[in-house]
Amino acid sequence: MTVIERPRLGQVAITPSAVAMAWLGVGHRHEMVAVPAVTLGPGDLLVAIELATLCGSDLHAVSGERRASTPLVLGHEQLGRIVAIGEGAPARAVDGTRLIVGARVVWSVTAACGGCQSCKAGFRQNCLSPRHYGRERMQRGWELSGGFASHIQVLAGTAVVVIDEEIPAEVVAPVGCATATVVAALDAATRITGLAGTTVVIAGAGLLGLTAAAMARDAGARVIVSEPDPDRRENARSFGAAAVVNPGAASGSALSLDRALRSLGARGGHFRIGLEFSGSPQAMASLIGGVDVGGVVVLAGTVSPDSSIVIDPEALVRRLVTVTGVHDSAPLQLLKAVDYLQEAWRRWPFGALVGAEVALDQLDSAFEIAAAGDWLRVGIRP
């Protein structure tokens, strides 16, 4: 049983101490750090973590593919329960409800600063100096800054959403990262063309691709998922894909995109919406080259700066094609993502995507399991 005491204004003592897994750099194992007290600013939340999931970007940091300054508490996909709230300002959820101790919550991957031009103008999702959960060097005053910990300090300026007690932790933990990004991608697509009755091609059958397949199908689209890995590809059928294709398949062969489009009766063998979650330059080029007149391709899978593709501008101009990108999401998209999962988890097997779960002090083994690639997410439970 955790005891929360307030020795003086703003300060919160946690007994037994909160613990965070500090990552010290490539090649080092995580080390457990005790945090006996935190200082909560007005509207900050102290949240006891129920479950965190390991995202691909955590793996990229630990393998050295993504630069990070250490020591660092990784993890930005999680849910938990509020155990203390900083005095001096009301803490509110995205929908305006007042947050209270005991509420089960999820939150965005960044916190807005509240002081920059964008924040002052009311556009907190476009904050010029956001704080990133699970990505910033551990610092005095914000030690509990990542999800791989017993508790996390959720800063004022973070988009917070209260969740149902019934929704399984495995389903909702990745919502602030993966699900909200998919909502942003579909919002970007539907600004150009509607989903109902449309053929949508999704590149990549990771968590984002599968989530997008289920959402697009629920919105009335015919969904084709393109994925090189055979197990992941077949998995897409259980998330609503009407057909699955192998991006490497020769034109006209069994698993080719053109054959799938024809079999689904897509007009002229084309699709109107392409959603790119794989980060593969070939996938981007094939979506942009194959999308129908007036269609849209949303790029959401590219996370490294070193990929480039060749685009034939004339083809875009003559076919009136829109190519756009999304990164992260706005607070209302997080709310939409939560609303979706709270209803959809009973119909689509989102919970089954967290295939393994380890205890917090076994975090290094969670990274090993995740790196083996058998599961889309590995859960970490404090």
Report how far Cα 353 is from the mean position of its chain's Cα atoms.
14
Q: Is 369 in the site for Zn ion (CB under 5 A)?
A: no
Least distance from C-beta 215 to Zn ion, angstroms? 17
d(CA 124, CA 153): 19
Q: Per-residue x/- marks for Zn ion, 1-40, CB under 5 A?
A: ----------------------------------------
Contact stretch for Zn ion (CB under 5 A) within 40-48, 109-117, 225-233, 288-296: 109-117
Please give the radius of gyration of the chain, using alpha carbons only, rounded to the nearest integer. 21
d(CA 273, CA 191): 11
Q: Which of 116, 162, 192, 356 binds Zn ion (CB under 5 A)?
A: 116
Least distance from C-beta 316 to Zn ion, angstroms? 31
Applying the rule CB under 5 A, the residues between 131 and 190 that interact with Zn ion are: 177
- Identify which of residues 55 and 236 has a Cβ nearer to Zn ion in the complex: 55
Least distance from C-beta 289 to Zn ion, angstroms? 29
Report how far Cα 20 is from the mean position of its chain's Cα atoms.
21
Applying CB under 5 A, what is the total number of residues that bind Zn ion? Answer: 8
- Identify which of residues 120 and 137 has a Cβ nearer to Zn ion in the complex: 120
Contact stretch for Zn ion (CB under 5 A) within 26-34, 108-116, 290-298, 363-371: 108-116
d(CA 211, CA 204): 11
- Per DSSP, the three-state class of 235 is helix
Contact stretch for Zn ion (CB under 5 A) within 55-63, 212-220, 314-322, 335-343: 55-63
- Identify which of residues 272 and 377 has a Cβ nearer to Zn ion in the complex: 377
- Identify which of residues 286 and 302 has a Cβ nearer to Zn ion in the complex: 302
Least distance from C-beta 124 to Zn ion, angstroms? 7
Phi, psi of 88 (to 5 degrees): 110, -15
Using the structure block, give the residue that is written with the tokens 């330059």.
281
Q: Are 239 and 262 spatial neighbours (Cβ–Cβ below 8 Å)?
A: no
Residue 143, phi-psi category: left (phi > 0), alpha (psi -120 to 50), beta (remainder): alpha
Report how far Cα 75 is from the mean position of its chain's Cα atoms.
11
Token pair in block for residue 223: 């969904």
Q: Which of 22, 55, 85, 273 binds Zn ion (CB under 5 A)?
A: 55
- Identify which of residues 43 and 295 has a Cβ nearer to Zn ion in the complex: 43
Q: Is 127 in the site for Zn ion (CB under 5 A)?
A: yes
- Identify which of residues 320 and 371 has a Cβ nearer to Zn ion in the complex: 371
Q: Are 47 and 105 spatial neighbours (Cβ–Cβ below 8 Å)?
A: yes
Q: Is 291 in the site for Zn ion (CB under 5 A)?
A: no
Applying the rule CB under 5 A, the residues between 68 and 87 that interact with Zn ion are: 77
- Identify which of residues 127 and 376 has a Cβ nearer to Zn ion in the complex: 127
d(CA 139, CA 137): 6
- Identify which of residues 155 and 201 has a Cβ nearer to Zn ion in the complex: 155
Helix axes 178-190, 207-218, angle to 10 degrees: 50
Least distance from C-beta 159 to Zn ion, angstroms? 13
How many Cβ atoms are within 10 Å of 352's Cβ, its own excluded?
13
Least distance from C-beta 114 to Zn ion, angstroms? 6
Least distance from C-beta 30 to Zn ion, angstroms? 18
Regarding beta strands 291-299 and 11-23, do their DSSP bridges make them parallel or antiparallel, or are they unpaired? unpaired
Report how far Cα 140 is from the mean position of its chain's Cα atoms.
27
Q: Is 45 in the site for Zn ion (CB under 5 A)?
A: no
- Identify which of residues 126 and 324 has a Cβ nearer to Zn ion in the complex: 126
Token pair in block for residue 132: 């990133």
Q: Are 244 and 225 spatial neighbours (Cβ–Cβ below 8 Å)?
A: yes
Q: Is 113 in the site for Zn ion (CB under 5 A)?
A: yes
How many Cβ atoms are within 10 Å of 246's Cβ, its own excluded?
17
Within 191-280, residue ranges assigned H as helices are: 207-218, 230-235, 257-263
Least distance from C-beta 25 to Zn ion, angstroms? 20
Q: Which of 20, 22, 47, 119 binds Zn ion (CB under 5 A)?
A: 119
The binding site for Zn ion (CB under 5 A) comprises 55, 77, 112-113, 116, 119, 127, 177
